Amino acid sequence: MPGIHIECEETACLICGADNPRQLFEMTDRLCHVPGVYRIVRCRHCGHVYMNPRPVKESVKDCYPSDYGPYQPTGTEAGSESSVSTEKQEQHDLSRTPWYLSRWARAIPGLRAFYYWLTDSKSELIPTRAEVSCSERTPQGLELGCSHGRFLDKLLSQGWQASGVELSDQAAAIARGNGHHVITGTLESAHFEEEQFDAVFSWMVIEHLVEPRSELTEIRRILKPSGLLLFSIPNSGCWEPCFFRSYWYAYEVPRHLNYFTTRSIRRLLKECGFETVKIIHQRNVLYLIASVGLFLREATPFHTIGNRLVQFTDNPTMWPQILLAPIAKLLAWFRQGGRITIVARRNR
């Protein structure tokens, strides 16, 4: 990426405000190869891990090249017509009917339910109308970092009115082409009305933010009283960063700026006016696989296995996920999964 320069600035600890961190290691961007050497530090006071210096706001967009994995369209996302849920689409396309919807699979009692139980990672949740106190009207939902609108499709299919905010011009254009109301930019630049939404969703976004406190404060402003914030983040409190060190996939400099534990995210939410309802340890091993891939890519540069493992994270296929599901569930049971999903309610 010639000509790209990421301007960075020193920052204090997001959680406690202390400004005397200990350096853990320096690293380069192993995923997108954005130029620069970036430093991961740990706060000496509260233990929070973060990137320091961090990119200034004006440089954030340059950290995301056009080939960034989550921005790549898959399946019908690249088309101009609205995407329907995968299951519904496959039911109407016999040539693509998955095995768990085939006639022989339907004839086996409980097989389909077992498949969904086995593969449900608990990574994306949609609350019921009762949970958002919205039984007599259509609930209003907003997704931050909506990319091509795949999750917006899910909201619409469950009776929500859905909107999105997306930083990437390319991804936002695809989402709008699929019929979604998506604003290109940031939550701050979108200027939503006060108490406009019943729920705000933010999947793997909070760790990217330069100023998470101001973002959470703005989310609280646009949520209705007792509205819900549902989001996911990497789990810096699990075993993976201790084992993989700088090869941990979730460090992802210079795009990931803060690395939360369950303790630090609870504290941040409380200080921003939220009550933590629950924290769910996701049932997936994507970061584990990708971290192994990053190591093998450098240790065995003449083999493709490392690249294939890293690419699996952006586009996981069915059978490997099924085979790895027991490991994922076991790690989640021990609260050692690489990702967590948080449900928080706005305090009145």
Measured between alpha carbons, how far is residue 55 from residues 10, 34, 38, 154, 193 in Å?
9, 12, 10, 33, 29
pLDDT along the chain (348 residues), means of 10: 83 96 96 95 98 94 81 49 36 48 63 68 88 86 95 95 94 94 94 96 96 96 95 97 97 97 98 96 93 96 93 83 89 95 94
Looking at the 3D structure of the chain, how many domains does it have? 1
Q: What is the pLDDT, as a whole number, of residue 314? A: 80
Give a yes or no: residue 180 inside a domain. Answer: yes
Tell me which amino acid residue 139 is: P
CB neighbour list of residue 25: distance below 8 Å, 6 or more residues apart: 39, 40, 245, 246
Give a yes or no: residue 248 inside a domain. Answer: yes
Give a yes or no: residue 42 inside a domain. Answer: no
Q: What is d(CA 271, CA 213) in angstroms, rounded to the nearest whole number? A: 9
**Under a CB-based contact definition with an 8 Å cutoff, are residues 82 and 152 in contact?**
no
DSSP structural state of residue 245: G
Task: List the CATH number of the domain containing 247.
Answer: 3.40.50.150
> Encoding tokens for residue 270?
């409380």
Give a yes or no: residue 297 inside a domain. Answer: yes
Give a yes or no: residue 10 inside a domain. Answer: no
Give a yes or no: residue 58 inside a domain. Answer: no
Q: What is the pLDDT, as a whole number, of residue 105? A: 59
Give a yes or no: residue 20 inside a domain. Answer: no
**Under a CB-based contact definition with an 8 Å cutoff, are residues 235 and 261 in contact?**
yes
Provide the 3-class DSSP secondary structure of residue 104: helix
Q: What is the pLDDT, as a whole number, of residue 319? A: 79
pTM of the full structure: 0.87
CB neighbour list of residue 290: distance below 8 Å, 6 or more residues apart: 249, 309, 310, 312, 313
Give a yes or no: residue 185 inside a domain. Answer: yes
Q: What is d(CA 17, CA 44) in angstroms, rounded to the nearest whole number? A: 11
Q: What is the pLDDT, as a whole number, of residue 315? A: 81
Structural domain including 301 reads 69-346
Q: What is the pLDDT, as a whole number, of residue 91? A: 39
